[in-house]
Amino acid sequence: MPNTKPYEHTEKHFRASETVRDIVIGMSDGLTVPFALAAGLSGTLDTTATVVIAGIAEMAAGSIAMGLGGYLAARTDAEHYESELNREQWEIQHLPDRERQEVEDYLNGLGLEGTTLQQATDAICSDDKRWLDFMMKHELGLERPDPKRARNSSLTIGISYIVGGLIPLSPYMLIHQSRSALWVSIIVTLIALFVFGYAKGKFMGTNAWKSAAATTLTGGLAAGAAFLIARLIS
């Protein structure tokens, strides 16, 4: 839909901070999966002891899988960047004509032609570091990864997963009868998903009500499916 009031936004396109994104990633799954698992189990068990154990085991597993998995993936990305960087460096030194042609092709694709194209290509290839940066960013679409950021990001995602998971699980910790706990958990978690989805939409600069509806729907469907499947097989 067209943006009808662009003059209100002329200062800067909104970008959510990376920390907010990490909290969103962790909390989305944390609110959804432990909620759905607990709902599924509560349909087959009378008391909540096993539901709580399963929920907490899931939170431990999920936060480690997302956190540590994310961290190791980031380290792999960093190694990949390093190896591509070395390859490009080698190519610029040993196959300069081909690499120059790649810069020219790229600029040509932007609409540059004739002498402008030649001069622009010369400008970029006149400095080896600039040339290398250009190849990494434009030919390969790779940005230099930040290793500290990878560690912080993983920690934020893992902790957010646990914080999110505690919301649907707390009713099972406080109420012994599993059916009552299920209802409290459903109400509390759907409200939390809605509020979280709304806040997520606001932070991400998209339609907050739509985001609230989508987040609540995902959590609700996951819980509903887990509940039904657990009932069917038990």
Q: For residues 117 and 141, what is the distance between their CA atoms, to the nearest angstrom?
A: 21
- Near a copy of itself by CB under 8 A: residue from 22, 29, 102, 104: 29
User: Which SS3 state, helix, strand or coil, does residue 177 take?
Assistant: strand
SS3 per-residue string spanning 46-112? CECHHHHHHHHHHHHHHHHHHHHHHHHHHHHHHHHHHHHHHHHHHHHHHCHHHHHHHHHHHHHHHCC
In the complex, what is the shortest distance from the CB of residue 95 to a copy of itself, in angstroms, rounded to a whole number?
7
Q: For residues 214 and 146, what is the distance between their CA atoms, to the nearest angstrom?
A: 32
Q: Does 186 bind a copy of itself (CB under 8 A)?
A: no
Q: For residues 167 and 194, what is the distance between their CA atoms, to the nearest angstrom?
A: 13
Q: For residues 117 and 107, what is the distance between their CA atoms, to the nearest angstrom?
A: 7
- Near a copy of itself by CB under 8 A: residue from 18, 95, 105, 176: 95
In the complex, what is the shortest distance from the CB of residue 191 to a copy of itself, in angstroms, rounded to a whole number?
18
The span of 104-112, 145-153, 174-182, 186-194 binding a copy of itself (CB under 8 A) equals 104-112
How many residues sit close enough to a copy of itself to count as binding (CB under 8 A)? 86
The span of 108-116, 145-153, 176-184, 188-196 binding a copy of itself (CB under 8 A) equals 108-116
Residue closer to a copy of itself by CB (options 87, 177) is 87
In the complex, what is the shortest distance from the CB of residue 183 to a copy of itself, in angstroms, rounded to a whole number?
18
Q: Does 112 bind a copy of itself (CB under 8 A)?
A: yes
Q: For residues 204 and 163, what is the distance between their CA atoms, to the nearest angstrom?
A: 20
Chain residues 144-173 in contact with a copy of itself, contact rule CB under 8 A: none
The span of 122-130, 144-152, 181-189 binding a copy of itself (CB under 8 A) equals 122-130
Q: Does 195 bind a copy of itself (CB under 8 A)?
A: no
Chain residues 199-218 in contact with a copy of itself, contact rule CB under 8 A: 201, 204-207, 210-211, 214-215, 217-218
Q: What's the Cα-to-Cα distance from 57 to each of 60, 168, 174, 198, 201, rounded to whole Å?
A: 5, 14, 18, 29, 30
Residue closer to a copy of itself by CB (options 90, 183) is 90
Residue closer to a copy of itself by CB (options 19, 82) is 82
Q: What's the Cα-to-Cα distance from 215 to each of 31, 106, 200, rounded to whole Å?
A: 10, 40, 9
